[in-house]
Structure 1
Amino acid sequence: MTLQDIQIPFSDDAERGVLSCMICRHDVALEAQLELKDEHFYHPANRLIFQTIKTMVAEERPTELPAMSVFFMDMGLMDKIGGPATLAELYAFVPTPAHYDYYRDILKQKLKLRKVIEACTEVLQSVQEVGHGDADVLVDAAGERFYEIAAQEQTCQGTFKEKLMEYTNVWEARALGQVETGIPTRWRSWNATFGGITPRMWLIAGYPSDGKSSLAQGLVEDTLVHGGDVLWFMYEMDDTETIDRLVSSRSQLESKKVFFPQHHPLQQGEARRVSKAVGEMMNFGLHLRCEPTWTVEQIVAETRAMKRRNANLKLVVVDYLQLVPTAKDFGAKRSDQVAYISRTLKRDVSAANGIAVVVLSQLNDDGKTLDSRAPGQDASNVLFIEQAGETRDPVTRKAVKKEGGLRVAKNRNGPRGHLLPIRLEGASFCFEEREMGVVRQ
């Protein structure tokens, strides 16, 4: 069987069922013109009737049968839909307008099937045109096309009153400590500022060797400890180095003893700590993708596929932004490429799947995100890693001690500009929280 042999999927009965419900009840007509589009109706006469009813609704005309008959006659459309008998038949087609949801869902499914056939036809034509070209580019484009089909049918259900009732229940549960806004982290100041790791796009920026990966690792561990799954795209480190860091953190051993045990012999009991850490992590839902070739389109496809298989996926980490390639060609416009990648991660990874996405980024010499300002604009929360040291007061020119920590550059739901007392401890590659002014001995 070829694509040409496939019968176009549609249901004339379902189309007529929706139209019948719209004619019988004005409130259904109002609802349907918001939920459905012209393309949901495959039969030309049915589509014309739907378009006409939408026009009547927009002009605040009554949509009962007599008024509709007059309008069709005045517009010269009656013959195009099959005559007055067509409207009469539609009016009596369903026993009750309460069946509208049933017919509507059939139309949505039929349209989706037609779009799948259309997409398959486009993919087949592209294969014939590409021939021996880049298959990966074609696969990415096909995946994006099918994702668009799935996303088009997503609608927000429920009235505002229903949403308020649901909100009240959730808010009361929060106030009683029964549910968390996000996944709790090990850092109290982080939780107090952001409510944990919330399902948003996060941007963590810093200079080279500031510890961006280590901070992301802390968020990964906290998500795993609280039972969530994590998808981690790592562009600079391989599997072994990534696991080394996790073992160092979980065993609380200096990183050099985990990385290079042949040069830094373990003391009594330390090998047991490594084994215990490995055993604990056996049950972690961590999915490592330590390959530098993952395109942003592949990240979208992998996240979407994993979310379908595993509803427990809570966090995606991209380490780091400037190393992510794309199947699209932006030429020399590096800023446009980074902006596209950032926008895609926010829309198609975080928002589309309802999960947190932590994106790491380098800073340029001016303290701005490298290559583009778009990531800072797209992210809901932005943190800059600041190292402790000395700086000079711009007025007095005197040396001033600078506290290290995480600078809250953007906070969607709270204050910004302050410094969280969360700093990198070099021996363990972990970020720890302590009061400002307290120096670790």
Structure 2
Amino acid sequence: MEDKENKRIPPQSIDAEKAVLGCMLINNEAVSVSMQYLTSDSFYDKSNSLIFKTMCTLYNNSKPIDSLSLIDELKKNKIIDSIGGPYYVTGLSQEAPTASNVEYYAKIVREKQILREIINTSVKMSSLAYEGHENASVVLDQAEQFLFALSEKASDKKFEEIQPMIHKVLDIWGKRKKGDITGVSSGFRDLDNQISGFQDSDFIVLAARPSMGKTALALNISRNIAVNSNKRVGFFSLEMSSQQLIERMLSSEAQISSHLVRTGKLPTSDWRKLSNAAGSLSEADMFIDDSGSLNIMELRAKARQMKSEKNIDIIIIDYLQLLHKGGRVESRQQEISYISRSLKSLAKELNIPIIALSQLSRAVESRSDHRPLMSDLRESGAIEQDADIVLFIFRKYLYSKQEEDKGLSELIVAKHRNGPTGTVKLTFFDEFAKFQDYEFVHDEFIDDLDINDAVFES
């Protein structure tokens, strides 16, 4: 079976290769067009590969390209005989009746090259799998990365001219001037005003000490994006089950005590609220993966699948420290650094924002004001370096127990690579784990411990 497969001829089109070279000999503009799609490695025939490489050298050195100059250069490089002699070169001009079709021929050559590279990748991955030196997840991740790179190569995306890029940036600035959000809206007015939404390819870290409300805020943001903005959210929960997340979301949406929801001891009026909340959330495009123990390669594979199948607009991960690298690691710090870099790379690859929740170190507890600092990011300074935005949740009431601090939550924009830092105030309703835009009137109803009796805006 193996011998039979080894005798197969790889995908190729010698005629298309010759046609490309012929076009390049007829018209020098065809050289620049061909170079957008091809390299010397794109050619299956070794002679054609050498000729293309030589013609590109002539072009880059601003020398004329025709049969005579090409033959002369091949002779200087002492490769004229290996490509079939002068007769082969002069015959290329007859392979293309017109240079106007060079792009069509170049795409054929590129497509055959990609098919060969897919075959080569399969062979490499097969060898790695047989050797058994790597975990299956490592081999899968390498294969996926390579195939994604090939997908980019297969696309017709070319360089961009500066004029349309300038217009695009000016359009974004114009929207910001008018107060429009240019990224994915968080659903929180003051936060959106600060960062103009979550931007494509950004890696955002949302960090806090335990019980500050990281998961609650992540779910609130997910809900706002999916329900208010009608965008698609991918949520990876490494700590809580999907059922627990849905219970929290229903409690928050209906504004009913999460304890009462869990026990089921609800009056009829609250059941109606839950029914309405369920109806609202059921329309949301939110996709939850609650796989308990994921390594970063598995998460990347799942994220790519979500993007491919569901075209998600944002990914939220709860939480970063529960991910692991897979395979041997020298230290936890290096592992977290690798995970952080991988998430930033994934955000760029998928061209969507990725929000990763993160724990803060105990150093926060040792300071008198307990306010988090960038140095508190747990286990790795790489998180600070890789993140485009770092957000800290700080609820002073958990430390002060003062009535004036009840319900007040600060969202500290500690890092903003492309904009200002600062602090955004939110109101937090602990009983049903819900953040809302800060309102100065919140003291009127938060003073009452039974906040379920109050009426809130949805």
Which bin holds the TM-score, normalised by the shorter protein?
0.7 to 0.9
Is the 2:207–2:393 contact (alpha carbons within 8 Å) kept by the matching residues of 1?
A: yes
Distance 1:128 1:159 in 2: 43
* Residue number among 113, 117, 120 corresponding to 1:118 in the alignment: 120
Alignment correspondent of 1:398: none
* Residue number among 350, 368, 376 corresponding to 1:353 in the alignment: 350
2:376 is equivalent to residue 372 of structure 1 = no
Alignment correspondent of 1:186: 187
Alpha-carbon spacing, 1:66–1:412, altered in 2? closer, same or farther (3 Å): same
Deviation, 1:303, is: 1.9
* Residue number among 330, 334, 340 corresponding to 1:336 in the alignment: 334
5+ residue gaps, structure 2, are: 364-372, 448-458
Name which of structure 1's ranges 43-52 and 277-286 shifts more when overlaid on structure 2: 277-286
2:390 is equivalent to residue 382 of structure 1 = yes
Is the 1:140–1:327 contact (alpha carbons within 8 Å) kept by the matching residues of 2?
A: no
Letter in 1 for 2:301: A
Distance 2:195 2:96 in 1: 51
Deviations 1:380-412 (A, max 9, x none): 2111112225999xxxxxxxx997411111113
Alignment correspondent of 2:175: 174
Alpha-carbon spacing, 1:256–1:434, altered in 2? closer, same or farther (3 Å): same
Deviations 1:231-277 (A, max 9, x none): 1110110122111111012112122222232xxx3234110111121
Identical counterparts, % of pairs = 26
Alpha-carbon spacing, 1:123–1:430, altered in 2? closer, same or farther (3 Å): same
Distance 1:438 1:89 in 2: 84
Is the 1:406–1:423 contact (alpha carbons within 8 Å) kept by the matching residues of 2?
A: no
Distance 2:96 2:438 in 1: 68
Is the 2:111–2:154 contact (alpha carbons within 8 Å) kept by the matching residues of 1?
A: no
Q: Which runs of 4+ in 1 moved over 6 A?
A: 175-179
Name which of structure 1's ranges 46-55 and 275-284 shifts more when overlaid on structure 2: 275-284
Is the 2:209–2:360 contact (alpha carbons within 8 Å) kept by the matching residues of 1?
A: yes
Alignment correspondent of 1:397: none
Superposition RMSD in Å:
3.1
* Residue number among 426, 434, 439 corresponding to 1:422 in the alignment: 426
Deviation, 1:119, is: 1.8
Distance 2:113 2:16 in 1: 12
Alpha-carbon spacing, 1:170–1:310, altered in 2? closer, same or farther (3 Å): farther
Deviation, 1:5, is: 5.1
Deviation, 1:135, is: 4.6
Distance 1:320 1:91 in 2: 61
Is the 2:413–2:423 contact (alpha carbons within 8 Å) kept by the matching residues of 1?
A: yes
5+ residue gaps, structure 1, are: 393-400
Alpha-carbon spacing, 1:361–1:9, altered in 2? closer, same or farther (3 Å): same
**SS of match in other structure, 1:421:** strand
Instruction: Give 1:228-267 correspondences, 5 Å limit.
Output: 228-261=231-264, 265-267=265-267
Is the 2:34–2:103 contact (alpha carbons within 8 Å) kept by the matching residues of 1?
A: no
Letter in 1 for 2:418: N
Alignment correspondent of 1:308: 308
Letter in 2 for 1:362: Q
Alignment correspondent of 1:292: 292
Deviation, 1:46, is: 0.9
**SS of match in other structure, 2:95:** coil
Letter in 2 for 1:260: T
Deviations 1:43-92 (A, max 9, x none): 11111112112222332322244332332233323222222232222233
* Residue number among 393, 411, 414 corresponding to 1:406 in the alignment: 411
Distance 1:75 1:245 in 2: 72
Deviation, 1:415, is: 0.9
Alignment correspondent of 1:282: 282
Alignment correspondent of 2:451: none
Alpha-carbon spacing, 1:6–1:292, altered in 2? closer, same or farther (3 Å): farther
Distance 1:254 1:113 in 2: 57
Name which of structure 1's ranges 265-274 and 156-165 shifts more when overlaid on structure 2: 156-165
Is the 1:223–1:314 contact (alpha carbons within 8 Å) kept by the matching residues of 2?
A: no
Is the 1:186–1:222 contact (alpha carbons within 8 Å) kept by the matching residues of 2?
A: yes
TM-score between both structures, scaled by the size of structure 1:
0.86
Instruction: Give 1:74-153 correspondences, 5 Å limit.
Output: 74-130=76-132, 135-136=136-137, 138-151=139-152
Deviations 1:338-388 (A, max 9, x none): 12212222213x211221211111111344211112122222211111222
TM-score between both structures, scaled by the size of structure 2:
0.83
**SS of match in other structure, 2:294:** coil
Deviation, 1:337, is: 1.5
